[in-house]
Structure 1
């Protein structure tokens, strides 16, 4: 049986940590594909995550994203987020690339996180695209299902939209360039809590493996692996990642 030696982690020159919704889910944040509850169950999440939806009903879309942001504000980084931040102190170079739109990596202590799908905390103008210069309501817990009028741009008076990547939109160019460069430079990539279905982000582990990096998948379900430099660790990220840091001579098997 192929075994992933912890020494591979500790001896890595450049580690890339690539995270998906499964990491934030362990902090209680619903994943995008989870069925909506309560009043929001009347809506298809995919139907709310488009420019067309915002044009049609900006208050509905803004209200839903503010409800999502309230869930993030009420959540705390979990043991996986904290372990990733600690790992950065133990290896020469670590790059965090995330598909998540929350700030839990940053709140756990990770720096210079590459957000491929944007952030709930970085809204911008729908008309002129400038970052929103005002402050957002702290939103302890907005009423679920409530429409909220978005604020206005201080420059052009356009409506402010969530700072996330919607269906039909391209990834932020700079973030994508940085992510590709890190994937092609690393010698170890940890892919954690991601389905591997969302394109083009799903290409990141494949890029790393094509350049000869060891790729380790951490997920609740086993991943199919190819060759002797790809591994699948099955379990909760909040348990496996702290174990990797404190596992001594322990070996994890696919």
Structure 2
């Protein structure tokens, strides 16, 4: 029986494929205040702006490709039972070949009904005002916005709690509730944290190994080591 690895990924793995990070130091996202484009209030106030914002993100996806970090994680599946819990809303993990994904912040390539959050549709083109679900309600991006519940958080916590190895890649571990997932790891489980600017201390957790490198620099080497240990 394969040992279980849970991988937590954030913007740092996607940025190396050319996808813009969630927001810059000023709290702006592509020149917008994040609350304008990533909150229920923003959508209620100006739905067209919000839809257009995500349409631009969606249009960018065919122009970017999985990088060596994404590809390396896919190789792990031959040796381990791998679950990837990602904060990213792109499809780069899937395109690299990874098969067991939990998108805790939603997915750009899906839309959902404004009246029923469980009514989710695949969506690859622009999403516009007037695009309705089967019950006649406006569709919105399938993205978890600020102030909204994270429906898959329990599933992500379960995957972390049951892991034999935890790997964290390219996330600040500052945005909750995602940042709290590390605390679900069992006490003696090895945790690897790959980030060029790690902001956790090895003193904070038992068995924490910090790899102060970018995802593309750090992930393939770690994967090679773990394959040897499998």
Fold shared, TM-score > 0.5 on shorter chain = yes
Q: TM-score, normalised by structure 1?
A: 0.80
1:99 aligns to 2:76 (yes or no): no
- Cα deviation, 1:143-165, whole Å, max 9, x if unaligned, reads xxxxx733422422221110010
Contact kept? 2:169, 2:195, Cα under 8 Å: yes
Q: Which whole-Å CA distance do the structure 1 matches of 2:68 and 2:168 have between them?
A: 16
1:28 aligns to 2:18 (yes or no): yes
- Of structures 1 and 2, the one with the larger relative CO (CA 8 A, separation 6+) is 1
- Cα deviation, 1:131-179, whole Å, max 9, x if unaligned, reads 237x542x6xxxxxxxx7334224222211100100100001xx22221
Residues 99-178 of structure 1 mapped to structure 2, 5 A cutoff: 99-129=87-117, 130-132=119-121, 135-137=123-125, 149-172=128-151, 175-178=152-155
Equivalent residue in structure 2 for 1:192, among 169, 178, 192: 169
Who wins on radius of gyration, i.e. which is larger? Answer: 1
- Cα deviation, 1:15-63, whole Å, max 9, x if unaligned, reads 1111001000110000111379xxx52x212321111111111111000
1:66 aligns to 2:43 (yes or no): no
Which residue matches 2:191? 215
Contact kept? 1:132, 1:153, Cα under 8 Å: no
Report how many aligned residue pairs link the two structures.
Answer: 222
Q: Which whole-Å CA distance do the structure 2 matches of 1:113 and 1:197 have between them?
A: 21
RMSD: 2.4
Q: Which whole-Å CA distance do the structure 1 matches of 2:124 and 2:219 have between them?
A: 33
